[in-house]
Amino acid sequence: MKFKRVVVVGLGGGGTFLVQPLCRYLAYSAPETQVVLIDGDNFEPKNAERQIFTALGNKADVTAAHLRPQFSQLQIETKPRYVTEDNVYLYIKEGDCVFSCVDNHASRKLLSDHCSTLEDVVLISGGNEFDDGNVRMYIRRQGKDLFPPLTHQHPEIQHPTDRNPAELDCLQLAATGSPQLIFANLKAATEMVCLFWVVCTNDDPTYNEVYFDLKTGAQRPVRRNMGE
């Protein structure tokens, strides 16, 4: 499967790890692909313990400025905004591969629900707690779900108790932070790009979910078909 555009939503702990190998892979295997980076948040000094950046400022813009000189073959575009109901249809389009690197279930639901209105799209979503996490891939082809949306059998996504960061003020945003482990972010990002490679090279992927636990080293891939 080839993609016209690859869209990365969220450039925090997971997103900044993901874009480096993703852009390197695209630059040498599919340089015609357009890369779109989306995030309304800013890099702050406190982010340095887990996130990769070379300057303070909007996360999408700073990351793009860091990547462009390394991968001049690629067209890298930025959207320095949070994804909301008002702009999601402008940012996520037919034929896209979307990486959801967000840190809240409300945004995951928004992305999944929007993708379910498109004919052909791939949505790869990663999430982690302190030392474990999972990655899931939603695929729509020719208007049908090949793999289930993020909301399927996940009530925490279907009925999120958190809120889109665009709806929070600065104090509320600061209060949403919880301790995270850089290696859990790295692991989630790694599994996301691995799933991307799988879907790029295989029309019928053998798995569309993977769970991991850094403490035990356990990892389990799952193929969850529609109707399950």
Residues that bind other proteins (CB under 8 A): 10, 12-15, 100-105, 108, 125-129, 132-134, 136, 150, 153-157, 162, 178, 180, 184-185, 188, 211-213, 216, 218-220, 224-225, 227-228
The residue among 122 and 189 lying less far from other proteins, judged by its C-beta, is: 189
Query: Which residue has 């707690």 as its token pair?
Result: 129
The counts of H helices and E strands in the chain are 7, 11
The residue among 13 and 205 lying less far from other proteins, judged by its C-beta, is: 13
The CA-atom distances, in angstroms, between 216 and each of 81, 131, 219 are 37, 10, 9
The residue among 56 and 218 lying less far from other proteins, judged by its C-beta, is: 218
User: What is the nearest approach in angstroms of other proteins to the Cβ of residue 180?
Assistant: 5
Contact 13, 51 (CB under 8 A): yes
Cα separation of 137 and 192, whole Å?
A: 9
The residue among 14 and 205 lying less far from other proteins, judged by its C-beta, is: 14
User: What is the nearest approach in angstroms of other proteins to the Cβ of residue 215?
Assistant: 10
Contact 223, 206 (CB under 8 A): yes
User: What is the nearest approach in angstroms of other proteins to the Cβ of residue 42?
Assistant: 17
